[in-house]
Structure 1
Amino acid sequence: MTDAERSLDWAHGSLTVQRLGAMMAPVHFRLADGKTASPLHVAAWADMPATPELPGILRRLRGEWPCVPFGYSVPSDGWPREWADVMWSPAGDEEVHGHSSNHDWDWQDADDASLRLALDYPANSPVARVERVVTPDPSAPAVDLIFRVFVRRKCSLPIGLHPVFRLPTQPGSARLELGAFRIGRTYPETVEPGKAIFRANAAFQDITAVPARNSGAAIDASALPFIADAEELLQIEGLDGQVALANFADGYRARLSWNPNDFPSLLLWMSNRGRTAEPWNGDHLAIGIEPVCSPYGLGPATALADNPIALSGVPTALEFSPESPFETHYRISVESL
């Protein structure tokens, strides 16, 4: 155990949390049949010497962490008019997925059964402080998490949780299990040039039939990883706050549950060897399963504007007040297949 990271062991596993971004991973779950499962992703470059040159969020990218404000502004060139009209350049102090994702949190006093961290925000931010509590379930292969946000003044901000899960290498050897949802949306433009497989700015009602980019066919987006190299984002609305990822290659199912009143959408970041620049190098394989109150992670200004998702009745920013600190609870658990 070091100041940079701390670990916990319990009857059903072990976990590590680092100060940078308060990211949790690796987590090793001991299952009822004696197997060990490690569902959370750790980027291949996370401990390489060159990583100090990277933004904080990428330097030791791993596992699960909370983000406020969630997202980052991107150029509007080539976007559909209804999106381009509510997109702007990043603010001068804007950080990818917020201050919380890019800086070292501070350890807080905790009992032997939990890890607690907190981070104070810059004085010019409406956010004053964030806190995180990580507590393994003593009776199960599961981890319960609490995220709190304290603000200096009333404000509205996009917010999200950022669990990133490992994927096996064989195409189709994992399956994303979603319950019923109201609507799914493909990304309105292109995440990574030349690596799009879904039709831009399309809607769908079935995760197994997402419109393809260059044909009239449909793609089963639940069967992972994809055969083709791809970098994609899908936004799912109207879920009940539960999703699972079955990893057939490793024989386990990971479950994520959250409060859908806090996070009305689920953002799926499908990183399927699609990014070739460093540090991704064309071999990054993972899926982000991210409960959000955000429009595709497009940044605070777009989240607060009358973007198409907000106009459909789905919130893309939460209201915060200094009189009522925000607190949300969520859970990651694992079972054998």
Structure 2
Amino acid sequence: MDSVTIKAKGIYVTVDLAVGHLADMVVETGGRTLSPLHRAPWIDEPQGTIPADFPAGSARLSGDFLCAPFSRSDVEEAPLHGWPANSRWDLIDTWQRDGESGALFRLQRKVMGATVEKRLTLRDGHPFLYQEHGFIGGSGGISVAHHAMTVMAKGGRLAFSPKRIAATGSDPLEPDPTRGRFLLAYPAQTQDLTRFPTNDGGTLDLTKYAMDRRHEDFVTLVEAEHEGPGWTAVARAAEKDLVLVLKNPAELPVTMLWISNGGRDYAPWNGRHRGVIGIEDGRAAVGHAASLGDNWLKRQGIPTAFELADGRRAAFRQIIGSALQADGNPPRDISVDGDKLAIEMADGSASELPFDGAFLREFTPL
């Protein structure tokens, strides 16, 4: 078995068991079929086109996946983003009851001695995937992040729940001009997401995804204190839809944006990985050792790892959704109203989507 698909009315999700990635997600609404997630163009190409040292998770890059740790595995030996993003998961259970469909998966390997589980849930008529990851037992600390990705043919607009700061690290993703390029300044930070410093002394609006310049960049957004869920919304221009990613900021206090728009020239990227943005909600610094040690986020009171222990289950949740949006503008605000997700637009108009309003509240792990 290479993949598993779970279905509810109006939605289905497929999991690539080889690496635990979401290989596909489809929402049917308003007479349209929406596909909010990205799939790398090289996945179905002959195996010989992929460099021998390319991590399995990058070779099968798709949808969303669990990073544990996030980025470098420099505490316990593992590929980039850890074994959950690069090795096989087993299907443990599936269910269909009371308008709900779901599946439980377990990573074949352990992470820091912990058993890792993935629980995916769909609900009839809800345009959302509800997912939870849990670490059972183990010892030490583990940094984590989701790696949700969407792709745009002609760019789009972004909006976010309130953020305290946006910051880049000390080094760009592609510092060698013979291999790629970047736009943002490193290191840099700002409280104004529409004016992030660039490497040429100018600024870049992080709320607008433009396709005209090829670059590879990475920036961390720190959640501000506010009521309600943390959220990212991407209004895709050509696709005429809205991609929604929601989290509980108490569990995942940062959102890391990976802007991948033709900024890598070497195989298998070859300048063709364009219009992609990663919305990486996490509890992490860049690298496992950095997350466990002193780092700039910890100095601001932001946790960057979960603590693991025998008899303990560390868990966190995230939601990915999709909705129609014709005018290319993102929401001004998103809030939970009982069993509805309320979406307020800049022009004052509003809409609601069916939603499990209790899912992201802080919960007691089983």
> Residue 130 of structure 1 aligns with which residue?
116
Distance 1:182 1:212 in 2: 19
Distance 1:9 1:37 in 2: 15
- Residues 7/120 of structure 1: CA separation in 2 closer, same or farther (3 Å cut): closer
Structure-to-structure mapping, 1:44-63, within 5 angstroms = 44-50=41-47, 51=50, 53=52, 54-63=54-63
> Residue 193 of structure 2 aligns with which residue?
207
- Structure 1 residue ranges (4+ consecutive) displaced by more than 6 angstroms after TM superposition: none
- Residues 116/264 of structure 1: CA separation in 2 closer, same or farther (3 Å cut): same
Match of 2:168 among 178, 186, 207: 186
Letter in 2 for 1:307: N
Structure with more of its chain in strand, by fraction: 2
> Residue 219 of structure 2 aligns with which residue?
234
Q: Secondary structure at the match of 1:100?
A: helix
Letter in 1 for 2:28: R
> Residue 35 of structure 1 aligns with which residue?
32
Question: Identity rate of aligned residues, in percent?
Answer: 27
> Residue 265 of structure 2 aligns with which residue?
276
Residue 152 of structure 2 contacts residue 239 of structure 2 at CA under 8 Å; is this kept in 1? no
Residue 253 of structure 1 contacts residue 336 of structure 1 at CA under 8 Å; is this kept in 2? yes
Distance 1:270 1:24 in 2: 19
- Is residue 308 of structure 2 the alignment partner of residue 320 of structure 1? yes
Equivalenced residues, count? 309
Match of 1:176 among 158, 165, 178: 158
Per-residue deviation at 1:311? 1.6
CA RMSD of aligned residues (A): 1.8
Letter in 2 for 1:55: P
Long gaps (5+) in structure 2: 326-366
- Is residue 10 of structure 2 the alignment partner of residue 22 of structure 1? no
- Residues 129/277 of structure 1: CA separation in 2 closer, same or farther (3 Å cut): same
Match of 1:144 among 112, 121, 130: 130
Relative to the length of structure 1, the TM-score reads: 0.87
Residue 255 of structure 2 contacts residue 282 of structure 2 at CA under 8 Å; is this kept in 1? yes
Q: Tell me the alpha carbon deviations over residues 22-68 of structure 1, each in whole angstroms, 9 at most, x when there is no partner.
A: 1113111112x211110100000012222484321112110011121
Per-residue deviation at 1:181? 0.9
Letter in 2 for 1:188: S
Q: Secondary structure at the match of 1:278?
A: coil
Distance 2:152 2:234 in 1: 9
Residue 104 of structure 2 contacts residue 118 of structure 2 at CA under 8 Å; is this kept in 1? yes
Q: Secondary structure at the match of 1:182?
A: strand
Relative to the length of structure 2, the TM-score reads: 0.80
Per-residue deviation at 1:273? 0.5
Distance 1:98 1:127 in 2: 13
> Residue 291 of structure 1 aligns with which residue?
281
Letter in 2 for 1:47: D
> Residue 96 of structure 1 aligns with which residue?
80
Distance 2:237 2:103 in 1: 31
Q: Secondary structure at the match of 1:254?
A: strand
Q: Tell me the alpha carbon deviations over residues 198-246 of structure 1, each in whole angstroms, 9 at most, x when there is no partner.
A: 111111112211111112x211122114421110000000255211111
Residue 120 of structure 1 contacts residue 128 of structure 1 at CA under 8 Å; is this kept in 2? no
